[in-house]
Every structure is written in structure tokens, then in C-alpha cells.
Structure 1
Amino acid sequence: MASYGTNSIFWRFSLAIMIIATIFIPNLCLAKQTKINGLKMNVIDQCWRLNSEWRKHRSQLATCSVGYAGKMINSIGKDLIRYKVTDPSDDPTNPKPGTLRYGASVIQGKVWIKFQRDMHIKLERSLLISSFTAIDGRGVNVHIADNACLMIFKTTNVIIHGIRIHHCKAQSPGEVVGPDGKVIPLGKVDGDAIRLVTASKIWIDHNTLYDCQDGLLDVTRGSTDITISNNWFRNQDKVMLLGHDDGYVRDQNMKITVVYNHFGPNCNQRMPRIRHGYAHVANNLYQGWVQYAIGGSMGPSLKSEANLFIAPTTGSKEVTWRKASYKDGDKWEFHSVRDAFENGASFKVTKGGRVPKPNYSKEQYFNVVDVKSVRSLTRWSGTLRCSKTSRC
């Protein structure tokens, strides 16, 4: 009897251990895996990419933005219209239902756009995107290329995510459906991949941009509260312009966050070029340049923080360029904080004065990590490859 009692206690104890292991060990393994994955991802990607069912919850992406755009929650809610692009054709003045232009310009309200399948969209004229619109290319391979491209014109709360935009061409004046759904005249367009004109609260994330006639991204005419994150900019002369022109003083209020992007290879200049306003440029990877990486004029302010600058093998090793605009020299503030420089790269900082802070609100704030992690943080820059059965 004593032996039986001892065996009974042993087996009860063993069963209890097995139950505990069944309940807790998978959770521990999941937590460990999440931590490992988290180390490979920046804070934006951690917010949604760890969820293998992101397709069922696409609009969760709106809660993941950081920087001056803030959270994009004004673009979602119970009244959200979910729209699927099924037709790659384009009519600039009378778009058909199922086309990208119909969803982005004609439909008004909160619109979340996804794509039925891989597509190559050749826009006849610039696509003017309505306020509170998200263009979400995750899960498929979408190219907007070989003619007109994207314009965010006098609108707010726009997300552009997961699109390949390239070989954009200049356009002559013509008519197009405007951001209010009505046909309007549109002047000459230079051939940028994405151009912002008097736009606010815009998030441009995980796109691949290259080989356009003018630039890849222009932020102009009083546009502000912009976050440019996780994009891959390559094969381009003029990459990113922040500020319309030297005489447009309204751009003094411009605030831009440029974070987790990969610049290069084969980029020449403007990563970015800043006029008048303020830019927080953090945790980006610079894979060479020809003329310069970061430039400015008209008294811009820049905080370059924990970026990795890899100078080209030949040519200019200096990261910065400044255009003198006043008789007494331009009054800019270019500061480098915790940046890393390889292959002889150097950064001419402003002597004396303060380092301009971004002064983010709680919803805009993010932690700028050590520059040693930049290669890891930018590993997934550009459009993501998302299989149908797993995470991106």
C-alpha cells in the first residue's frame, strides 16, 4: 500500500508538471520568438508585422506610424470604406469602378484601398489622392510606373504603403479628377514619383522608388506633419526635396520625419535637400552619394541622429551641402548626433548654437536606437514580400 501511495503521488506530480508545461512553454517560446523578431524590426514594423493575420486587420497599420505624421487613426473607424482595385486601367476624367483612380479620387470619406492581384498600373495623368485615403499594396506586387505618378494635393490624412513607383514622366497640362471627386485642370507636372502640395498629416511607408524623370519625393507649398519611413530610394539623381523654393517662406512651418529609410545605391543628391523648415533624420542607411547626401538653403534646421553614412569609394566624402542665400551667409542649423561614418565620410556641423529638437508629442515620439542597429532596422526597407500564409 505504501508503494502504491508513493507511485500515485509521483504520477500526480508528473501530471501537474506536464499540464504546466503544456500551458506555459508555448507562450514562453512565442515570447522568445517575438523578442528575436523584434530585434530585427524597427518600432513601426513590430506594430503590425508580428501579426500573421494582418490581412484580416489591415487598418491596424494606421496605429503604427510615428514621427510628425502621428498616429493615422483619423483615417479609420466604423465608417471606413474598404475598396479593392480589380482593374489596372486608368481614365483621368471618368474612372471606372474597380480602378485605383476611382477609389483614390472619386470615393469620398475614409477609404482603405487594397489590390486584388499583382498589377502594373500606367496612369494617364497624375493620381490626385483624396483626404483620409490609404493605398495599401501589401500582399501583392503593385507597380505604378512608366508615365504619370502620385500627387497629394491640398489633402490630409493620407497613407501610401507597399507600392513600387518608378519611371515617372513629366506631364503636359490637362484635366483630371481632383481630390474632391470633381474634374479640375492640372498644370504641368515635372515627373516626380510622389509630390505633396499643401498637404498635411501624410505617412509614406515601405515603398520602393527609383528612376524618375525629376525626383522621387517632393514636399512643397506649406506641406507639413509628414513621416517618410521604411522606404528604399535608389537609382536617382534628385531624391527628396523638402520645401518648394527659396522664396516660399510658408515652408518655415514644415516639419518632416525621415526614419528607417535606405538611400542607395546610385543616388546623387537630396537625401534630403531642405528649404526653410525642420527635418528630423534618424536611423537611416546611406549607401553612398555623388554630390552630397543632405543639403539645404534658406535657414533650415536639421537634426541628423544615429544615421549610418557610407561614403562613396571616389568623389565627395562630405555628407552635407549648403547653399549660401544671404549676403552674410545662410543661417542654417545642421547638427549630427550619434551618427556613424564609414569609408571616410564626414559631416560639417553648425558651430555653436543649440541642437534643434523635434519636440514630438506623445503619439509622435519614438526611440532613436543606437546606430549599430541601423543595418538591421533598414534591412526590410522598401516594399515587403508577403506570402499568403505567413507574416510579411
Structure 2
Amino acid sequence: MSGHQVMNSSFWSFVLVVVIVTLFTTIVSSSKQSQIEGMEMNVIDQCWRFNPEWRKHRQQLARCSVGYVGKMTSNIDKDLVHYKVTDPSDHPLNPQPGTLRYGASNIQSKVWITFQRDMNIRLEKPLLISSFTTIDGRGVNVHIANNACLMIYKATNIIIHGIRIHHCRPQAPGMVMGPNGKIISLGQVDGDAIRLVSASKIWIDHNTLYDSQDGLLDVTRGSTDVTISNNWFREQDKVMLLGHDDGFIRDKNMKVTVVYNYFGPNCRQRMPRIRHGYAYVANNLYMGWTQYAIGGSSGPSLKSQSNLFIAPTENKEVTWRKSSNGIGDTWKFYSVGDAFENGASFIDTKGGQVKKPNYSHEQDFEVVDSKYVRSLTSSSGVLQCSKTSIC
């Protein structure tokens, strides 16, 4: 065989290999895409999870929120600081560069926080998060656990995504770095996983929260415009409180969306418990309860739409209402299109309906039939993201 024939044969062998590899890659890629498209993925996840290059376009997430938080586009743009957590240690007054507290409390700019690797973070004092901060745990396994946890205090435009928060414990009063690097005196903290105090425009998405001393998520003292989505709440007595106390009238302006969350197993009550304000609760899965699933006092309004309530062996009623001062109350609880299994029941308020949520265009989303809730919530909690492609 001549040299020319050898070169020609080698060339066509190379071409054949390229064609085979390309064909195989295309088939695998198509298979993965078909697999994810076969899921009944909710509207938030559809916005970004189909993109295999999401790591290069993390800020796309800010355009995916729905409900009362609206879109989080104020968290991005050209002046955004990209900050990576490399050090799991913590100092409440003098946080070092590379730690979570330095990025969340000390940087006085829009900041998008990611994590270099898997890590367990034990906070010495509650982490007070500055406005226009995103904490993005996608792609790694991050735990905030076993002591103090998160507080959003007089701050706005915050995203918390993809973090495991658990075994949060009460904290004695003391000094701590507050938002924008200011040292403040913080009073007694009860041991919530995430607590909002006079906060607005907050998005809590795809986190896993469990086993904390007080509650898993409190929205208090005039906080409003909050969306709580795609989270997994489990192993907890008091899960979610909306409204500070019966006497805090300013919570009448509170508006919260609770959507695509998975409650259970072993959640006892407050999913949510609401005071004064308004909650729109849609397309969530309730895997039992001990005392009640949804409760309230002090004239709250709540619309429950297309949720799936799976009752426990005992105590089948979903709702609970507390009278104020022994004279009754003016709560308004409405169930629209909910599904009830294992004998679950929902006591509606008679004689009217809640007209809200009255969403703007950027807040609005389609609530789907309750028969799809199992699929819509199947990815609730922290996502297991592949290192090579999709979440």
C-alpha cells in the first residue's frame, strides 16, 4: 500500500470515529433532555433547570421567581460582586474574607455568593444578611447547622437558594455584625432556621429545613412581599409563622406566597400559621400533620388552591382557627381545587371569597391541577446537581 493510500485510509478512519462520537454524544444528550422534559416541572424550575450551562449563567435564576416577591432583577446587573465562600469558619464581629459572613454582611454592594466546595458551617451568632444579597448553594452540599442560623433584619431583595439549614439553636443577646458591616446589639434569638424581621422582597427557594429549636421560617414585624417556594420542610413541630403576634397590627400589610413546597414527614403544625395578613398557598404537598396544617388568628386571609393534603391516621381536619379575646375572629380561609386524601377535610369560611392574590404581571403564574402536585414537588428541597450538566 502506498503512502498516499495509508494517509487516505487514516483520514477516513478518523472521520468515522468523529461521526460515531458525535452521534453517541447527541443520543446521550437527547436522552437526558427527554428525561428531564418528561417531568412535570414547575414554572420556576422550567425557567432555568433546562439549561445545562446554568453554572455559567447563575444570575438567570433572578428572573425565575414568581408570587409576591416578583422578579429579583434588582439583585443582578453590571455592578454585581461575585463572591465565593472558601472558608467554613465564622467570626460574628470580625469575619474574614472567604467566609460566608464576610460576603453576606460585610460587602456593601450587590453580591452573588457561591461556594467553592461542600462545607458544614457552624455560625457563632445569627447571620444577618445585607440587602441585594443572593446565597446560591447550587452544585455543592452546604449545611448551616448546629448553632445559630439566618436572620434577615430590615433588609430587602434577598435570595436564599440551595442550602440545608437545620439544628438551629437559641442564642443569648450579644454583639454581631449586622447588614452593611455595622456592628449592632442583637437581643435573644429563639432558634429559627430563617427569621425575617421588617424585611421585604425575599425569595426562599429550594432549601431543606428541619429539626430546629423554635421554627423553620418566621415572617414577622411588618415583613412582606415574600415567596417561599420549592422547599422541603420536615421533622419539625412549628414549621412556618406568618405574622409576629396578635397585637402587631402592622402585619396586616403582609403578603406571602407559599408554592411548590413539600411538608413532611413529621411536621406537627404551622404550614403556615398566619396572623393579620394574607397568604396565597398553592400546589404544595402536605404529607400529614399532628395538630393542624394551616392555622390562624387576628383576622388573617388565606387562599388555599390546588394543594394535596394527605391526612394522618388521626385529626383529619386541615385548618385551625384561634379566637381573639374570646369574642371570635374575622379570618377568611378558602379552599379552591384542593385534593384531599386519607379522609382530609378543610373547613371553609362561608359567605364570600378572597379576591386576592391580585398579582401584577411579573408576579403571576399558572396554578395547575392538584393531580400534578406530586410531580411538581418531587424536586423540593436542595437539588442534586450533576457536575457535568443539569440540576
TM-score by length of 1: 0.91
What is aligned with 2:173? 173
- Please give the alpha-carbon distance, in whole angstroms, between the structure 1 residues aligned to 2:274 and 2:77: 35
Partner of 1:259: 259
Match of 2:357 in 1: 358
Listed one character per residue, the Cα deviations across residues 230-280 of structure 1 (whole Å, up to 9, x for unaligned) are 000000000000000000000000000000000000000000000000000
Which residue type is aligned with residue 77 of structure 1? Answer: D
After TM superposition, the structure 1 = structure 2 runs for residues 172-251 of structure 1, keeping only pairs within 5 Å, are 172-251=172-251
Hey, what does 1:55 align to over in structure 2?
A: 55
Paired with 2:258 and 2:240, the residues of 1 have a C-alpha distance of: 10
Q: In structure 2, give the amino acid aligned to 1:262.
A: Y
Task: Identify the residue that residue 156 of structure 1 maps to in structure 2.
Answer: 156
8 Å Cα contact 2:36-2:50 kept in structure 1: no
Per the alignment, residue 12 of structure 1 pairs with none
TM-superposed CA distance for 1:180, in Å, is 2.0
Aligned residue number for residue 79 of structure 1: 79
The aligned counterpart of 2:336 is 337
Within 2, Cα distance between the matches of 1:116 and 1:365?
35
- Change over 3 Å in CA distance of 1:350–1:35 after alignment to 2: farther
How many Å separate the matches in 2 of 1:391 and 1:327? Answer: 54
Give SS of 1:60's match: helix
**Equivalent in the alignment of 2:14:** none
Contact 1:118–1:141 (8 Å) recurs in 2: yes
Contact 2:151–2:196 (Cα < 8 Å) also in 1: yes
User: Matched residues in 2 for 1:170 and 1:391: separation?
Assistant: 38
Cα distance change, pair 56–319 in 1 and its aligned pair in 2 (3 A): same
1:356 to partner: Cα distance: 3.2
1:308 aligns with 308
Q: Name the aligned partner's letter for residue 42 of structure 1.
A: N
Amino acid at match of 1:75: N
Counterparts of 1:36 and 1:238 in 2: how far apart (Å)? 34
Shift of 1:32: 11
Distance in 2 (alpha carbons) for counterparts of 1:254 and 1:153: 16
- Aligned with 2:179: secondary structure? coil
One-letter amino acid of the structure 1 residue matched with residue 352 of structure 2: G
The reply on whether 1:348 has 2:338 as its aligned counterpart is no
Q: Specify the code of the residue in structure 1 equivalent to 2:261.
A: N
CA deviations over 1:186-206 (Å, ceiling 9, x no partner): 000000000000000000000
Report SS of the residue matched to 2:101: helix
Secondary structure of 1:312's partner?
Answer: coil
Distance 1:373 1:270 in 2: 24
Name the aligned partner's letter for residue 322 of structure 1: R
Partners in 1 of 2:70 and 2:143 — Cα distance? Answer: 27
2:141 matched residue in structure 1: 141
Is 2:372 the counterpart of 1:373?
yes
In 2, distance between residues paired with 1:266 and 1:357? 31
CA distance in 2, matches of 1:34, 1:301: 41
Distance 1:124 1:327 in 2: 42
Letter of the 2:315 counterpart = S
Distance 2:304 2:126 in 1: 33
Distance in 1 between residues matched to 2:98 and 2:154, nearest whole Å:
24
- Could you tell me whether the CA contact under 8 Å between 1:34 and 1:50 is conserved in 2? no
Number of residues paired by the alignment?
366
Is 1:38–1:46's contact at 8 Å kept on the other side of the alignment?
no
Distance in 2 between the 1:168 and 1:211 partners? 7
- The 8 Å contact of residues 302 and 356 in structure 1, kept in 2 or not, is answered as no
Inter-partner Cα distance in structure 1 for 2:195 and 2:39? 33
Q: Distance in 2 between matches of 1:242 and 1:63?
A: 25
- Cα distance, 1:109 vs structure 2: 1.2
Task: Note closer, same or farther for the CA distance 1:45–1:34 as it changes in structure 2 (3 Å cut).
Answer: farther
Distance (Å, rounded) in 1 between the aligned partners of 2:256 and 2:206: 17
**Displacement after TM superposition at 1:215 (Å):** 0.3
| Matched AA of 1:296 | G
Residue 30 of structure 1: how far off its partner (Å): 6.0
Q: Which residue of 2 aligns with 1:384?
A: 383
Q: Is the 8 A contact 2:163 2:382 kept in 1?
A: yes
Which residue is 1:10 aligned to?
none
Q: Calculate percent identity across the aligned residue pairs.
A: 77
2:201 touches 2:224 (CA, 8 Å); kept in 1? yes
* Secondary structure, counterpart of 1:58 in structure 2: helix
The change in CA–CA distance for 1:59 and 1:34 in structure 2 (over 3 A counts) is farther
Is 1:138–1:161's contact at 8 Å kept on the other side of the alignment? yes
Cα RMSD of the aligned pairs, angstroms, is 1.7
Q: Could you tell me which residue of structure 2 aligns to residue 11 of structure 1? A: none
Residue aligning to 1:16: none
CA shift for structure 1 position 36:
6.0
